[in-house]
Chains A and B, each alone.
Chain A
């Protein structure tokens, strides 16, 4: 069993929730800003993972984007949540909370046994 592999799987599962949360906090988020936030919290290893994820969320109707002029260079794409993205995020967040609680409880019981 490769621990790095398992860690990557865990990160990947949480990434969708985190990206949607960041976009909600920023209201309108530029992919590079999202990347910087993710890097701070060590949630992504390579940036390339983000773009297919954003595209998938957009195709799924959870995100859309607007073009904004930039002071340095060409116009930038800013992503924001759609109403259905908002509902999706709420649901995802509550199931994340219950998952974390369940995992915490179970692992706590396990360590008592030892």
Chain B
């Protein structure tokens, strides 16, 4: 037994099974974000909706309710966003290139290509992998090396030659923090597309779940403490003790307080 939902698709009324509706809604949302930003986005979507309506009209053959198999068949006919070929904006650029401003077209294309390569990495602090401020992990991401070596180099420069601290502080001031998922992808020079962003968001969501779970365990054991106080790895031993004076001192040592 299932609920049904009445919808208007491409100007035609349809009765959808609840699951079928969820599938279609998800598909349209993914198409929508795939085409977003391309010229004629709204038009493409309305053309596709009309075609879907046509397919459901033929596919159900007199059955009055659209079910999940009808939706899967229609999606297979139209194709998943990933199957629709190369990036839409690329093609748009070719139109510009062919018509009036060839230089501009080529130039912007080149910049975009760089955006996906290692040249496109942005130097940012990584707050998810930090000992003090994330400068070292940001540098490591930028140069594509392991964070440990950058940390070792800074520690050696500080303790060995005594010059390490000043450049570190300057970098800390000038490097912006990678706050959003898009920032972190740019930091690693990964392509900014729908798949990579959703991957990143998914990753961050699991991180958050872990952190909250750790905190939950901790509450059971020790009573309430701010879950976001600990660092990203959720390691409990770095957390300040209950002694507030000592806690405040360590807190400022670690650079949480300016």
Q: Which residues of chain A have C-beta atoms less than 8 A from B35's C-beta?
A: 52
Is B156 located at the chain interface by the 8 A CB criterion?
no
Is B53 located at the chain interface by the 8 A CB criterion?
yes
Q: Which residue of B lies closest to A60 (CB)?
A: B95
Q: Which residues of chain B have C-beta atoms less than 8 A from A31's C-beta?
A: 47, 51
CB-defined A-B contacts under 8 Å, sample of 29: A8-B85, A12-B86, A31-B51, A32-B54, A46-B79, A47-B51, A47-B77, A48-B48, A49-B85, A51-B48, A52-B38, A52-B40, A54-B47, A55-B38, A55-B44, A55-B47, A56-B39, A56-B40, A56-B91, A56-B95, A58-B43, A59-B39, A59-B40, A59-B92, A60-B99, A73-B53, A73-B57, A74-B11, A76-B50
Q: Which residues of chain A have C-beta atoms less than 8 A from B91's C-beta?
A: 52, 56
Query: Which residues of chain A in 55-114 are interfacial with respect to chain B, using CB atoms and an 8 Å cutoff?
Result: 55-56, 58-60, 72-74, 76-77
Is B83 located at the chain interface by the 8 A CB criterion?
yes
- Whole-angstrom distance from the CB of B78 to the nearest CB of chain A? 4
Q: Which residues of chain B have C-beta atoms less than 8 A from A52's C-beta?
A: 35, 38, 40, 44, 84, 88, 91
Query: Which residues of chain A in 1-50 are interfacial with respect to chain B, using CB atoms and an 8 Å cutoff?
Result: 8, 12, 31-32, 45-49
Alpha-carbon distance between A35 and B57 when the two chains are bound, in angstroms: 17
Is B176 located at the chain interface by the 8 A CB criterion?
no
Cβ B84 vs Cβ A48 within 8 A: yes
Alpha-carbon distance between A56 and B38 when the two chains are bound, in angstroms: 9
On A, residues with C-beta under 8 Å from B are 8, 12, 31-32, 45-49, 51-52, 54-56, 58-60, 72-74, 76-77
Q: Which residues of chain A have C-beta atoms less than 8 A from B99's C-beta?
A: 60
How many chain-B residues does the 8 Å CB contact rule pick out? 33
* Nearest 5 Cβ contacts at the A-B interface: A46-B79, A55-B40, A74-B11, A48-B79, A48-B78
Q: Which residues of chain A have C-beta atoms less than 8 A from B48's C-beta?
A: 48, 51
Q: Which residues of chain B have C-beta atoms less than 8 A from A51's C-beta?
A: 44, 47-48, 51
Q: Which residues of chain B have C-beta atoms less than 8 A from A73's C-beta?
A: 11-12, 53-54, 57
Q: Which residues of chain B have C-beta atoms less than 8 A from A74's C-beta?
A: 10-12, 50
Alpha-carbon distance between A102 and B51 when the two chains are bound, in angstroms: 39
Alpha-carbon distance between A19 and B54 when the two chains are bound, in angstroms: 21
Residue of B31, B57, B91 ringed by the most chain A CB atoms within 10 A: B91
- Whole-angstrom distance from the CB of A49 to the nearest CB of chain B? 5
Q: Which residue of B lies closest to A84 (CB)?
A: B99
Q: Which residue of A lies closest to B98 (CB)?
A: A60
Q: Which residue of B lies closest to A75 (CB)?
A: B11
Cβ B40 vs Cβ A45 within 8 A: no
